Amino acid sequence: MAIKIILADDHKIVRQGLRTMLESEADIEVIGEADDGRMAVRLARELSPQVIIMDVGMPDLNGIEATRQVLAESPGVKVIGLSMHCDRRFVMNMLKAGASGYLLKDSAFEELATAIRMVLGGKVYLSTEIANIVVKDYLQGGGDESVFSVLTPREREVLQLMAEGKSSRQIADHLIISIKTVETHRMQIMHKLQIFSVAELTKYAIREGLSSLD
């Protein structure tokens, strides 16, 4: 039986390349593609994949938050983070969200195929550079606060949408909440982070892996 895969990446050319390579493997089938994290969560619910290849930096809902939501609903799904970023915060937050693997986008295809089979076998797969980051974080204690420990899941969603330039009305419509609720979240975010300008909040969101300029 073929391994059922969903590809989640906001760049179509990346998804097409991954699909072509993965489907050259006799035991792998790509059953869906998502161009943002929210679609990845929905497809995971509808298609019941075994593995999701999840880009970390995606619009609307980032890969870290999408991983949390997917695994909350379907804990048996394996998520492999695939990213341009080897920044420690991106890596550690993705793993803390429950990802079973993390590779850089410049990894060889053979490494991704190996990672898929390893995570299905219940193991964690990290490329060498990522493994070094994880070990260093462990040795240093990894105790600093991140946006994932400071803000609630809803506040993180609101912050990402703010960083992507959406108005309070657009955020309210998108999340199906009231404008008043959005404004309350905005005030709580600013108070918790002690950041009071949208420009600085945007920089913070990008630095923490909530939003991306790619």
Number of domains making up the chain: 2
Interhelix angle 179-193/153-163, rounded to 10 degrees, is: 90
162 plus 187 within the same structural domain = yes
Going by their DSSP bridges, the two strands 125-126 and 51-55 should be labelled as unpaired
Domain range enclosing 164: 147-207
User: Is residue 99 within 8 Å of 195, Cβ to Cβ?
Assistant: no
- The pTM score is 0.85
Q: Are residues 94 and 131 in the same domain?
A: yes
Whether residues 35 and 54 fall in one domain: yes
The verdict on residue 214 lying in a domain is no
> Would you state the structure tokens that stand for residue 190, as one six-digit string?
């600013």
Supply φ then ψ for residue 8, to 5 degrees.
-120, 110
For every one of its 214 residues, what pLDDT tens digit does the chain have, with 9 covering 90 and above?
Answer: 899 999 999 999 999 999 999 999 999 999 999 999 999 999 999 999 999 999 999 999 999 999 999 999 999 999 999 998 787 888 889 999 999 999 998 888 899 999 999 999 999 999 888 888 888 877 776 656 788 889 999 999 999 999 999 999 999 999 999 999 999 999 999 999 999 998 999 989 988 888 875 5
How far apart are the C-alpha atoms of 87 and 70, rounded to whole Å? Answer: 23
